[in-house]
């Protein structure tokens, strides 16, 4: 009986603790879409990507031309010259593949540039979320845009606009002026939806 009573008290206490916790959620995709610096970073990355892709395609076109020329000339070439030309084609193809890997591979130039441009913005967002969570005693802040599946979310717990407001000081006046039509306080997008920046 005593064991049952202790278990019951523990369950009641745990339940009370759960109910005492406060939760909120953000939509990081929405937040990023409303930060001008992020749009600028994305545009810069797309421009670089297109430029590098052009360079790689030109390099592979060069290899293709070398191969076609070799096929036409190979009948007339001595064996030693054939071997030399074949090696030149192999080397040119390796060079093209190395360039492709250097630009677009894991830890390549595009990855490094994305880290350089986007990571500081992500860190500012994380710091703003952390600050809002601390100020409002939220135990957990979920990300609606992440892998978390949210079957239903009451808009009054969406603090995305608060994050944009918090970033106003860090990101500059452009973000602040955009966020003026959002919520006035913590978790206060209310039923009006609050997301009117787009």
- In tens, the pLDDT along 168-179 reads 855 554 444 444
* pTM metric for this prediction: 0.65
User: In the predicted model, what is the mean pLDDT of residues 4-22?
Assistant: 48
The most distant pair of C-alpha atoms in the chain lies apart, rounded to whole Å, by 101
Is 97 part of a structural domain of the chain? Answer: yes
Tell me what pLDDT residue 170 has: 58
Is 73 part of a structural domain of the chain? Answer: yes
Is 112 part of a structural domain of the chain? Answer: yes
Residue with tokens 């969406």: 158
In this predicted structure, the answer to whether residue 141 has a pLDDT above a threshold of 70 is: yes
Q: How many domains does the chain have?
A: 1
- Residue 114 sits in which domain range? 20-181
Tell me what pLDDT residue 177 has: 40
What's the pLDDT tens digit per position in 144-174? Answer: 887 666 646 677 778 888 888 888 855 554 4
């Amino acid at each position: 009986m005593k064991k049952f009573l202790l278990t019951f008290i523990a369950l009641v206490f745990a339940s009370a603790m759960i109910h005492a916790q406060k939760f909120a959620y953000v939509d990081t995709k929405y937040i990023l879409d409303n930060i001008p610096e992020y749009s600028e970073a994305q545009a810069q990355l797309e421009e670089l990507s297109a430029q590098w892709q052009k360079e790689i395609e030109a390099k592979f076109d060069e290899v293709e031309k070398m191969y076609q020329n070799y096929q036409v000339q190979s009948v007339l070439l001595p064996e030693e010259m054939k071997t030399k030309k074949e090696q030149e084609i192999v080397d040119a193809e390796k060079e093209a593949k190395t360039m492709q890997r250097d630009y677009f591979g894991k830890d390549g130039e595009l990855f490094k540039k994305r880290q350089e441009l986007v990571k500081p913005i992500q860190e500012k967002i994380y710091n703003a979320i952390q600050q809002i969570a601390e100020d409002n005693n939220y135990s957990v802040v979920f990300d609606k845009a992440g892998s978390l599946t949210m079957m239903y979310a009451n808009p009054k717990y969406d603090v995305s606009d608060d994050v944009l407001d918090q970033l106003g000081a860090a990101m500059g006046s452009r973000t602040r002026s955009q966020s003026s039509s959002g919520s006035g306080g913590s978790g206060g997008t209310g039923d009006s939806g609050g997301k009117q920046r787009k």
